[in-house]
Structures are given as structure tokens and as C-alpha cells.
Amino acid sequence: MVGLERIIRSFISVDVEDDKLLDVFQTLQRRLVETGNVFKLVERSNMHITLRFLGNIPESLVKRVMKGLEELKFRQFRMEFKGLGVFPSRSYVRVVWVGVGEGVDELRDIHVQLNGILGRLGFKSERFSPHLTLARVKAVRSRAELVRLLQEYDGVSFGSMDVSSVRLKRSTLTPRGPVYDTIMEVKPRP
């Protein structure tokens, strides 16, 4: 009898670990809450840019993804966080995010490589809109206040960081929110 294979909820990301940037993001989260809307804020320790969400996949496929990630090539680069935005639109806000200025082309190049690597493993190609999620919207009580905040920070640079790794992460869902663990880290190489 064959046992059930373990399923792992996983994604590939660039993690944000710079304390100054994380402080700025938490200040932005406080400003969001002050608009009177209801949010589920992303935990400080969970802030990242998702390059590819893989979903719930068998452990054997995770191992194949790890092998594929050995092909990933990129140089260390500077990434700037710039401006606030929302998904899917200002008239129906579900997610509030910080965008990327400098470094966006490098992120897109990594994403194109990931689409190729993952495509060979049966994953469908995905579009990519580089962003860091600050909050998910639970209830909109003052759209006007939220839009004012978005306009206030339109095009504003919040700081930058060096991207020195890409990580394959496991996401464990708990009643208190997701817990992320690094499965594999890929360092820059040309």
C-alpha cells in the first residue's frame, strides 16, 4: 500500500528583511487603519514580493521545483519600493500594495526564467505585477479616505534594498495567519 504524499503550500519570493523598510511599511499600515476601513495586515515577518505562487503541491513536485531553481541566474540588484496601489481597482479594493520602481526589470527577468523552469514541470505561465502586499481589505467604510491616502503616496519612494536571494517558501495556514518557512534559497549568479 502506498502512503499519501505530503502536500506543501508553496511560493517563490524575494523577502524583505531590512528593518528600516519594514518600519516604513508598518507606518503605512497604521495610516491605512486610520482611514477607518477594516484590514487584515500582513505581519512584519511575512513581508515579501511573490515571484510565483505554486499553491498546494505534492512534496515530490517541490523537490523537482528545487532542482529546477538551480538553473535560475541573476545578479544582485537594487530594488526600490515606490507608490501605493490596490487590486483589483479603486472601485473594488481587495488588496493594498506597495509598488516597485528601480529593479522592476530585474524582477521581471527572474519571473520570465521562473515561467520557463516551472513550465517544464507542468505549471502554467503567469503574468507578473511586482508588488508587496501591505493589507487585505475586510470592509470598506470610507473609500474616499482610502483614495486620498493612495493619492498622497502616489509615486513616493519608500526606500530600497539589495536583492541578494530568491527563496522557495512553505506557507502553513494557521488560525493566527500564515507562517512562512524557507525551503530553499537561491543566491545571485550570472
Give all strands (DSSP E) within 90-130, no chain letters: 92-100
Q: Please write the tens of the pLDDT for every residue from 72-106.
A: 999 999 999 999 999 999 889 999 999 999 999 99
Q: Decide: 104 and 80 in contact? Cβ < 8 Å.
A: no
pLDDT of residue 72: 98
Catalytic residue, candidates 52, 82, 111, 131: 131
Distance between start and end Cα atoms, the chain: 46
Domains defined for the chain, CATH in brackets: 7-186 (3.90.1140.10)
Establish whether 111 is a catalytic residue: no
Catalytic residue, candidates 35, 48, 49, 171: 48
* pTM for this model (two decimals): 0.94
Neighbours of 64 (CB within 10 A): 16
Q: Decide: 54 and 11 in contact? Cβ < 8 Å.
A: yes
pLDDT band at 38 (very low <50, low <70, confident <90, very high): very high
